Amino acid sequence: MAVTYGLDTPLSRDPVIVGTVFGALATITTGLRFYALRLRRVKPGAPEYLILAALVVLREAKRAVSILGGAGRHASDIDPASVVVTLKTILPLEALYGIVMGLIKCSVMLFFTRIFGSKRPFRMCVCVVMVIVWLWAISVILETFLLCRPLAYNWDITTPNGICGNRNATYVVAGTLSLITDLMVMALPLPHIWKLQLSIPKKLALSFVFCLGLLVSVISIIRLFSLMAISFTDITHSVQMGVMWTVLEPELAIICANMPLLKVLLSRMFHKVFSTAGKKYSVSSAQAFEQLQEQEAVYPMNRFDHQPVRTKISAGSSRMALKKPDVPISITNTIDEEQHELTSHGSPNAISVVHKVDIEYGQALSR
């Protein structure tokens, strides 16, 4: 009969609490992400389903870390069979870690493609990084099962002709490569954000939103140090912190991946902070106006389902229609901007634009 252990020591109890809390937050933010898309009347796509798949795989990874292994206690204080259980759970945990992080990173890249995917160079960069991410994930799976041969040598060192590589070094290399791929993914949208016709504070704010994954990178670095501290002579006591960070990293990654989609919910709760109504636009040359129109059509005004925004500009007013197939015209909003006098800026090309915007959900207006 298998021996079970209670969560009566800090090292066995605290990692379980942390994993449970952040696992719940990851699940809640994923649900809010689907709800936010529903409010926008946008169907969930591949990024959302990849996050769901990551949640399922993560749940299985957490199951692999059972209380049967006596983790958090010294190996000399528990049953030898429990040590074997702990050694066996490390294998699926490491393999599932590679899979779940690969799914999350692909979800983030596909989300970036929704916004910046109209540019071919960006799509090519995403494809290259995606291949690198999955090559890393596959390498994690392979090293899990090929590092020690035969496989049983991972938990039974009396196995004849058994041989094992440096497990600590392998874990550190895999973790370092994971950190590098994190930085590659987060760097993808930055050049495009800084080309937008926005103020420096807004560019910094957008960069911060898209780089929330830096928090995950910090956790990844902490995880590296915890993996280097694992001692296979006292595996049940030394592995617990490594297990906690291995579970916490993908949970935080899911939370960060969901945050950019939750603006619509935050706008309802904190309208004055997140509302974009009542904005004024002013340009000083016809060329600048064309650039602003072009970039807004490509980036900020793209809908999350990547449908085009048609814009028609006339003297003193602008009409925009969002093309939504199979949805009757049911909402018409008029945004009156503050009027301001035409002023001369020392250049005959200087203009001031007053917007009166009607937003109609229905067929796009003819040009």
In the three-class reduction of DSSP (H, G, I as helix; E, B as strand; rest coil), residue 22 is classed as helix
Cα–Cα distance for residue pair 98/86, rounded to 1 Å:
19
Pair (202, 156) in one structural domain: yes
Greater model confidence, 353 or 139: 139
Q: Among residues 269, 301, 324, which one ends one of the domains?
A: 269
Domain assignment present for 95: yes
pLDDT number for residue 236 = 85
- 124 CB contacts (<8 Å, ≥6 apart)? none
Domain assignment present for 274: no
What number of other Cβ atoms are within 10 A of residue 358's Cβ? 14
Pair (247, 313) in one structural domain: no
Pair (96, 186) in one structural domain: yes
Pair (116, 157) in one structural domain: yes
Cα–Cα distance for residue pair 291/94, rounded to 1 Å:
48
Are the CB atoms for 181 and 108 separated by under 8 Å?
no
Domain assignment present for 319: yes
For residue 356, the surrounding DSSP H or E stretch is strand 356-362
Please name every residue paired with 164 in a beta bridge, in sequence order, or none if there are none: 148
Pair (14, 68) in one structural domain: yes
Average pLDDT over residues 224-252: 89
Name the range with the highest mean pLDDT among 14-23, 135-144, 200-209: 135-144
Q: How many domains does the chain have?
A: 2
Domain assignment present for 55: yes
Q: Among residues 269, 303, 325, which one ends one of the domains?
A: 269
Pair (53, 123) in one structural domain: yes
Cα–Cα distance for residue pair 179/183, rounded to 1 Å:
6
Model confidence at 3, in pLDDT bands (50, 70, 90)?
low
Pair (112, 245) in one structural domain: yes
Domain assignment present for 275: no
Pair (250, 322) in one structural domain: no
Give the structural domain span for 313. Answer: 286-362
Are the CB atoms for 71 and 3 separated by under 8 Å?
no
List own/partner pairs for 235-238 with CB under 8 A and 24 or more apart. 235/75, 235/83, 235/86, 235/87, 235/90, 236/69, 236/70, 236/71, 236/72, 236/73, 236/74, 236/75, 236/78, 236/82, 236/83, 236/86, 237/11, 237/72, 237/73, 237/74, 237/75
pLDDT number for residue 64 = 55
pLDDT number for residue 350 = 40
Domain assignment present for 352: yes
Domain assignment present for 57: yes
Helical ranges in 158-239 per DSSP H: 167-187, 190-193, 200-210, 213-228, 235-238
Domain assignment present for 71: yes
- 99 CB contacts (<8 Å, ≥6 apart)? 57, 137, 141
Task: Please say if the pLDDT value at position 102 is more than 90.
Answer: yes
Each residue of 29-66: pLDDT tens digit? 999 999 988 888 888 999 999 999 999 888 776 665 55
Pair (186, 334) in one structural domain: no
Please name every residue paired with 333 in a beta bridge, in sequence order, or none if there are none: 359
Q: How far is CA 80 from the centre of its chain?
A: 40
Pair (247, 176) in one structural domain: yes
Looking at residue 165, which CATH number applies to its domain? Answer: 1.20.1070
Q: How far is CA 109 from the centre of its chain?
A: 8
346 by Cβ neighbours in 10 Å (0-12 / 13-18 / 19+) ranks as exposed
Pair (119, 75) in one structural domain: yes
Greater model confidence, 135 or 259: 135
Are the CB atoms for 321 and 360 separated by under 8 Å?
yes
Q: Among residues 242, 269, 296, which one ends one of the domains?
A: 269
